[in-house]
Structure formats: structure tokens, C-alpha cells
Structure 1
Amino acid sequence: MAKVTGALSDFGIQAFPELQPRIIFTASGPGVSGARLFATKPIIVKPANSGSFTVELMPTANIRPVVWYTVTIEWLDPSGNYISSDELVWKLFVPSAGGELSDLLETPANPSLIWVGPTPPPNPQPGHKWMNSTTGVLSEWR
């Protein structure tokens, strides 16, 4: 199993534990690896009051056919009903080493952001830009 970590907040950078949010990870389809047959039963994690969470997921690299996770966020209304949700449209591929959710999601690049450092960004996608702080060269993934 691989540990995937992250933190859930609203756009005001506030956790909202009073609404009892939960994050649901669902495989895109059934799969096999070795002697195991995997079903698409959702894996549900409830973030801590701070919004932080850790979930253990099966790495997707060795599963056949190609499988990824979809991620859905649900939270309560004041009456205690799950009425609001966000379904992330990006695919989540999980390596055996796990990692931070935001680094693992296949999200489109924000063209206004440039990664600056001596090494390329993790998991670059088309449109990502990197300014090599050692050479001063600006690169873009296509």
C-alpha cells in the first residue's frame, strides 16, 4: 500500500471540520495484479480537524488494465445531510512510494506559474515551465 497525504480547506485556507467532510477515492474500474482481483469499492477518508489527511491506496503502476483513482469531496449541510460535493476531474495515479495528492494528480498546468530550482518539477505536465536556477534557462513541457 502507498500513503497519499494532503490537506483539505476552502479557498479561504480554512478547514471546515464542523461540516464533517470526507474524501472518497474510487478506482476507475476493476483490475488485477498477481493473484489479487481488485473491486471498485470506494475508500473513504475523513480529514483531521486541521484538514490534513493520510490514506493508504493500492499503487496503480502494476494493475492491469490501466487504473486510476477519481477523487470526490463531500460535506454536510447544517441539517447533517451530504448535499455538497466536488468531483475532481483529474486522474490520480499512485506510485508505490505514495506522495502528496497535489503532486500525484494529473492536473493541467497553470500557465502563470514557473517552477524555479536546480531540478525540474515533480511530475511535469504539458504547459509546465521550469526556470533552472543554476543555468538561468527557461524550459516548457509540451
Structure 2
Amino acid sequence: MPVVNGVLTDFGLEPFDDWNEVELVFRADQPAMAGGRLLATKDVVVPVDSNGRFETTLQHSNTYPRTTYSATVRWLDGSSQMDIVSGLKVPPEGGTISEILGKSYEPLSVWAGSDAPPNPAIGTWWLDIETDDLLEYEPD
């Protein structure tokens, strides 16, 4: 089973003063099947240590139907604030949360032309009109 890990901090790159004020929760977007198991969407609550590190084991996303996860930082101070990242696709080898986010990006644009796209967004597809090749553009 894939191990997902990382570090949770604020935007100042500082760990929280009191780790009892937040919890990290992963949730699958739908029930699925894999390896003879029926997988339910029960929250996977992950402990975060005093340095912000976390680690958990999750089912990879190659399920039927294909699974994506949301990662939610819930504030436990009584407010309704939550930080949510969705669309995470966990690969069979697992990885850090930033690696998984990088692999989870869905392309939103296609550039059609004989030259590579200028200043493309991450995941832009390039349809080369001279060769009819469709490539995911990767800058040099």
C-alpha cells in the first residue's frame, strides 16, 4: 500500500504552536473496488507531529472506479475554517504530498501550432499541426 507523507506548516513555513488546533483528513471521492475489497469513503484522520510531519497509508487511485482524494486541514478551534486540496491521485508507489499534487494535475488547455506553446501552463497539451502529434508540453 502506498505511503503518503509530508510536512504541514503555515505560509510562513512555521509549524503551528499547538498541533491540537488542526487535524489532517484524507477522503476518497467515491466508494470503489480494488484487490477484492470494497472501499468506503470513511475519513482517514492523520496525526501531525510537533514538527508538522505526517505519514499515512492510502489505497492507490488505480481502483474501479478511479479514486481521487481530498486532503483537508480542519481547524479545531470552533471556527468553520477548512483548507481543502482536492483531486489528489495517489500512485501505487506513494510519495510526498507535493509529488502527488504534481502528478494529480489535470490539463486544462491544448495549444495547436507548429511551434511549442509560449509560456504554457503546467500540463498544457501541444497539438503539432505539422505532424499531428499530441504531446504533453514539457519546457526545457
TM-score, normalised by the number of residues in structure 2: 0.70
Match of 1:48 in 2: 49
Structure 1 contact 17–48 (Cα < 8 Å) conserved: no
Tell me the residue number matched to 2:9: 9
Q: Distance in 2 between matches of 1:74 and 1:17?
A: 15
Q: 2:84 aligns with which of 73, 82, 87?
A: 87
- Determine which structure has more spread, i.e. the larger CA radius of gyration: 2
Shift of 1:107: 4.4
Q: Which residue of 2 aligns with 1:121?
A: none
Cα deviation for residue 19 of structure 1 reads 4.8
Count residues in correspondence. Answer: 112
Alpha-carbon distance, 1:96 to partner? 1.7
Aligned-pair CA distance for 1:46: 1.9
**In structure 2, distance between residues paired with 1:34 and 1:95:** 15
Identity %: 32
Deviation at 1:17, TM superposition (A): 4.6
The TM-score, its normalising length taken from structure 1, stands at: 0.69
Cα RMSD, aligned residues only: 2.5
> Which structure 1 residue ranges, 4+ long, deviate > 3 Å from structure 2?
139-142
Q: Give the unaligned 5+ runs of structure 2.
A: 108-121, 125-135
Question: What is the match of residue 70 of structure 1?
Answer: 70
AA of the residue aligned to 1:47: V
